[in-house]
Amino acid sequence: MRLSSLSNSLLFLHPKPPFPMANLTTTIATSTPRARLKGIVFDMDGTLTVPAIDFAAMYKAVLGGDEYRRIKAESPSGIDILHHIENWSPDKQQKAYETIADFERRGLDRLQIMPGAAELCGFLDSKQLRRGLITRNVKESVDLFHKRFGITFCPALSREFRPYKPDPAPLLHICSVWEVLPNEVMMVGDSLKDDVACGKQAGAFTCLLDETGRYDSPVYANVDLKPDFKVSSLNEVYSLLNEHFDLAP
C-alpha cells in the first residue's frame, strides 16, 4: 500500500487547503487540524462491484483494432470511449452504443459486490457520513446493483446525467444536493482518468482504488494527475478516514 499523507496531499495535491499554507509546517508539527468529511461518493464498476467488464475488448469492438491501438498509444491514462464516439454519425454511434450496452449487459450477469463494500457502508452509517454514486454506466445497471446489494446510494448518477465523469458536474451536483462543500467530500474510484479527474476538478479529496497495482506501472509515472490517497482494497478506507479526517457529524 502506498498512501500519501494528508500533509502531502494538502501541500502538493489538494487544490483548496482548508488553512493558510504559511502556517502549515508549524500547524502540522503541533496539532494538525483534520479536514472535515461529510460524505463519500463512489464509482460503481470496479469499485463497489468486482470488475466484470473487459474494457479493452469493448474498446476494440467499438473502435476496431487499429484505431484502438492508435488511441491507446496517445492516451496513457486510459481511453474515454464515450467521448470518442460522441461526434460519430448517428448510425455509427448507435451501433457503438449497442456494442457498449452488450458488454455492460454481460458484465451485469456476472455482477458481484466488491469485498469490503458492505462493511464500509456500515462504517459510514455509524459515522453518519453520506454516500453517493457516480457511474458512466446506465441507470438500469445502477438499479440492478442497488437491488442486488440491498444498500442504497443517494444521489446515484448514471450516464444519463450529462456531462458525465471526468467532468466535475455530477460530483458538484451531489455536493449541492447534500448542501456540503466539495472539500468536505471524497471521491473513491478505480479510474484515474474518470474518478480522480472528476474529484480533483470538483475540489474534492480523491482516493484511487488500485487492487492490482496497475497504476504503479511506469506508464503512469509522467501522468500529472495524482490521487490524494491510494488503497489496494476497500478494507483500507476505514483506517484512512479515521487517521486523516474529522468524521464528527
In the set 38, 40, 42, 46, which binds Mg ion (CB under 5 A)? 46
User: Closer to Mg ion at the Cβ: 6 or 133?
Assistant: 133
207-220 per-residue burial string, b: 16 or more CB within 10 A, e: under 16: bbbbbeeebeeeeb
Nearest residue to Mg ion on Cβ basis: 46
* 103 Cβ contact list (under 8 Å, min separation 6): 53, 54, 57, 58, 61
Of the candidates 137, 108, 128, the one whose C-alpha atom is nearest the C-alpha of residue 42 is 137
236 near Mg ion, judged by CB under 5 A: no
104 near Mg ion, judged by CB under 5 A: no
80 near Mg ion, judged by CB under 5 A: no
Measured distance CA(200)–CA(196) in Å, rounded: 6
170 near Mg ion, judged by CB under 5 A: no
43 near Mg ion, judged by CB under 5 A: yes
Per annotation, catalytic residue among 45, 190, 194, 195 = 45
132 near Mg ion, judged by CB under 5 A: no
CB of 142 to Mg ion, least distance (A): 13
Q: What are residue 45's DSSP bridge partners? A: 49
Measured distance CA(32)–CA(244) in Å, rounded: 9
**E strands in 84-228:** 130-134, 156-157, 185-189, 205-209
User: Closer to Mg ion at the Cβ: 121 or 198?
Assistant: 198
Active site residue 143: no
Entry field: residues in the chain = 249
CB of 56 to Mg ion, least distance (A): 14
Reading the block at residue 19, the C-alpha cell is 488553512
User: Closer to Mg ion at the Cβ: 45 or 104?
Assistant: 45
Q: Cell 506508464, residue? A: 219
User: Closer to Mg ion at the Cβ: 63 or 187?
Assistant: 187
CB of 30 to Mg ion, least distance (A): 39
Active site residue 43: yes
User: Closer to Mg ion at the Cβ: 45 or 210?
Assistant: 45
190 near Mg ion, judged by CB under 5 A: yes
45 near Mg ion, judged by CB under 5 A: yes
Q: Can you say whether the dihedral through the CA atoms of 232, 229, 108, 94 is positive or negative?
A: negative
Measured distance CA(188)–CA(232) in Å, rounded: 12
Chain centroid to Cα 3, Å, comes to: 16
Catalytic residues: 43, 45
Residues of this chain that interact with Mg ion (CB under 5 A) are 43, 45-46, 190-191
